[in-house]
Every structure is written in structure tokens, then in C-alpha cells.
Amino acid sequence: MAAFRTCSRYSCDWAVGANSFAQKRTSNTCSNKFEPTGIVQQKLRISLSRMKHLSYLLLILLLISSCQQTQTIQHSKAEAASRVARSMIGQPYRYGGQSPGGFDCSGLVWYSYKKVGVKTARTTKELRKQAKKISRKELRAGDLVFFKGWVRTNHVGIYIGDGRFVHAPSSGKKIKIDRLDTGYWDDHFKSAGRILK
């Protein structure tokens, strides 16, 4: 009987120990269920923060891309206007003229830009106000070049690149190309301007 009790006692002790171990495992398992929740929440916050920053970055890139596309379109229109002006070479000068039958200087600018869908001022004075002032070094096809007379700025032409511009010179002459860096035009150059900014 003693041996049986001892075995029983040991069996009970083992059972108690096993039960205790099981309780500990259960306790640990339960606590482990809660630990990942905090980690997941932290990772979620980090992910949301990264997504927010990524969204801002994408928005900035889209805005930059949009601006570049707009500038490209405007530059293309300015170049197209310069080609229109070149196509009028040989047409007569006519005071107040703004059609292929005859142009004055500002009439040529007005007509050339109108043909590419851009509205401009009609006089040299107003064109100078409308155009954004740029340096001579910044000139590109389609920009305007202004020249001074005895008292004021009274002449305008359309730059076509390589130091050249198209203009309607004066009564009795025809639309032609001249260079900015030679003779009268170099001496009387006043400023340069850009219609499409």
C-alpha cells in the first residue's frame, strides 16, 4: 500500500506539475496574442506615414510635370508664331496693316500669334507692356525684340534664332530678316520680351 501511495503521490505530483506547466503555457500564449497587436499598430502608423509622404511626393512630381508640359506647349506656340512671321517674308509694309496684304511691325506680331491661337496687343507700346522682359541672351524663337527711335520705343520684330529677327521695316519696304548684332539694329536695340511665359 505504501508503494502504491508513493506512486500515487508521485503521479499526483506529476499531474500537478503538468497542470502548472500547462497553465504557464496558456498564460504565455495569451500574453503573446496581445504583443503583436501593438507591433502591428506601430507598423501600420509607419506605413500610413510613408504613404502620406509618398502621396505628397507624387503630387509634387505631377505638378512639376504639368508645368513642364505647359512650358513646352507655350514654347512650341512661340516657335510656330515665328514660322508664320517667316512665311510672310516679301509681303509689303503697310501702315496699320495686319494681314498678308500688308503689315506694319506690330501688325506682323499680332497676325503671327493670332494664327497660332494667341491673343496679343496691337501696338508696339502695348506689346512691350504685355511681354515679360528678358535679357538678350535669353532670346529664343518667337520672342519679341524692341527698338528705340529718336524719343521712344517705336519698332518691334519677332526673333527667329541665331541672332536674327523678322520684321516689317518701314514704308516702301518689304518684310525681311535682319541681324540683331549689325549696324542700325544693334545700335537701336532697346529690349527683349516673351509673350508666352
Per-10-residue mean pLDDT of the chain, 197 residues long, equals 45 46 47 58 73 71 56 78 98 97 98 98 98 97 94 94 97 97 96 93
Q: Which pLDDT value is given to residue 151? A: 75
pLDDT of residue 158: 99
The backbone region for 104, taken as left when phi is positive above 0, alpha when psi lies in -120 to 50, beta otherwise, is beta
Any idea which architecture 80-194 has in CATH?
Alpha-Beta Complex (3.90)
Q: Which residues are catalytic?
A: 105, 155, 167
Counting Cα atoms < 13 Å in the Cβ hemisphere of 111 gives: 24
The reported pLDDT for the residue numbered 74 is 62
| Helix (H/G/I), strand (E/B), else coil: 43 | helix
Q: How far is CA 68 from CA 20, 60, 74, 194, in A?
A: 72, 12, 10, 17
The number of beta carbons lying within 10 Å of the beta carbon of residue 36 is 10
Residue type, 73: I
pLDDT at 197 (0 to 100):
74
User: What is the pLDDT at residue 69?
Assistant: 53
